[in-house]
Amino acid sequence: METSKIKPIINKYALACALLASTNSILLGYDIGVMSGAVLFIKDNLKISSTQVEILVGSLNVCSLIGSFASGRTSDWIGRRYTIVLASATFFIGALLMGFATNFCFLMAGRVVAGIGVGYSLMIAPVYTSELSPSMTRGLLTSLPEVFITAGILLGYVVNYVFAGLPSHINWRLMVGFAAVPAVGIAAGVMFMPESPRWLVMKGRVGEAKIVLKKTYDCEDEANLRLEEITKYALDVVTCDSRAADTWRGQGVWKELLKPSPPLRRILIAAVGINFFMQASGNDAVVYYTPEVFRAAGVRHRKELFGVTIIMGLAKTSCVLVSAFFLDRFGRRPLLLLGSMGMAVSLAGLGLGSRFLEHLDHKPTWAIGLCVVAVCADVSFFSIGLGPITWVYTSEIFPMRLRAQGSSLAVSVNRLVSGVVSMTFLTISNKITFGGMFFMLSGIMIVATVFFYFFLPETKGKSLEEMGTIFEKKDTEGSKVIEVSER
């Protein structure tokens, strides 16, 4: 059994595979970042209303629900690696449709297709990485998708800034269509990755799984031990008849998920809960509508608006890197609790600044500065806690046979809540003001902090097969945990 006292050593092969798989997530980040600016020009060029803007922005998140919901069964059928390729190809088609759109309906069609691709990528990248990673560095490697989402947001901000000076009927097309370029490179790169060893075992391809494990573990004895452990816990899927194993496509999993045993129910509560609060925090909406927020605060010039978003993107990127490198040292719970409490305070500060500016015709520089700092703090604390840890936690706590489809269910909730928040953010803000909206989000993060404390146990240092041992009893930190029978 591995112990957290051993200093983690990153396996270069596992790191390379995790990086390749995680690059898929840059597509969502780029869309979030680029649409925050492109929507200003789309609104002017296509003459669409504020309601249509909300539908346009939120539709990708709602449609990604389709991809995330289908990704579990798909990845159990064709494998983790080819599901990543499918995600990139789908997003590529969506990006081209958006870039060549001539009207709102055409643009929406592109958003729907791109959203399905995003849904696939959000579920499969963390699951693939968690199944490939040694347990002592799984936190770092499985948080890489969030690193690339954040990098994609920053790239989107930079592209906005570069193309903002072009005519409004051209610039937004280049902004949204540019996403097709990395999609091609990602799909090509993924073809050089190995398949998940745990998926190979479930398909009865134990020999291939052994080859992959020997590359991802520096010690051959440890690789053999892991293979023995994985095979033991896959007995409910893989039988002695390899042909029977090869016919497994994830049958029966949804029946268990929809009628869970008490232990599985608690795992579902933890996985669905963290995904719900990740998006109920309003982070995606804050990022999407930052230009609108700062325009209301008094920053009028569009170049200045995009400059502020770049500063925010740099802060977000820096913090997610810090979190990634310390996840396996300090654990999931401390960083998650720190991040959620920090978000609650930051959103309250943003609410105060926004409410102050709402009642003044002349916008003082210090008040605008307070809002800028508060937004940067909010996205930074998100990148320390909820951002990376949601993907890590969701992909590691489910039993092996239920992992892909269980994760897809949790991520579907993530996408649904993200779409609802994005599509109602401006409407609610118009009713209760931006200040009122941020106060409400601050309250949600207080509730989230309490939920995380009581329902999410620590998982660092455990192999995926050992994960069930942390459930069923109360640990010393007061969080409820349960044991899942792998049969």
Report whether 393 contacts 274 (CB < 8 A): yes
Q: What sign has the CA pseudo-torsion 451, 457, 463, 469?
A: negative
* Residues ≥6 apart with Cβ < 8 Å to 185: 23
State the CB neighbour count (10 A cutoff) for residue 156. 28
Tell me 194's DSSP state. Answer: P
Checking 356-359 for CB contacts under 8 A at 24+ apart, the result is 356/435, 357/296, 357/297, 357/298, 358/296, 358/433, 358/434, 358/435
Nearest of 380, 407, 334, 379 to residue 142 by alpha carbon: 407
Residue 108: what pLDDT? Answer: 92
- Which helix (DSSP H) or strand (DSSP E) does residue 138 occupy? helix 138-142
The two three-digit tokens of residue 191, written as one number: 């073809």
Distance CA 314, CA 249 (A): 42
The two three-digit tokens of residue 202, written as one number: 């479930």
- Specify the pTM: 0.80
State the CB neighbour count (10 A cutoff) for residue 383. 28
For each of the domains in the chain, give its residue range(s) and CATH number, in order of start. 12-470 (1.20.1250.20)
Distance CA 88, CA 462 (A): 31
Residue 41: what pLDDT? Answer: 87
pLDDT digits (tens), the chain, 487 positions:
444 445 557 888 898 999 888 888 888 888 878 887 888 888 888 888 878 888 888 788 788 889 888 888 899 889 999 999 999 899 899 989 998 888 899 999 999 999 899 889 888 888 999 899 888 888 888 888 888 888 888 888 888 888 887 887 888 899 888 888 888 888 888 888 899 998 998 888 889 999 999 999 888 888 888 888 888 876 654 444 444 555 555 556 777 888 877 778 888 999 999 999 999 998 877 776 776 667 766 666 666 666 777 777 788 888 888 888 888 889 999 999 999 999 999 999 988 888 877 766 666 777 777 887 888 899 899 999 998 999 999 988 888 888 888 899 999 999 889 888 888 888 888 898 888 999 999 999 999 999 999 999 888 888 777 776 775 554 434 444 434 434 3
Distance CA 31, CA 439 (A): 27
Residue 476: what pLDDT? Answer: 38
Give Dmax (Cα) for the chain: 76
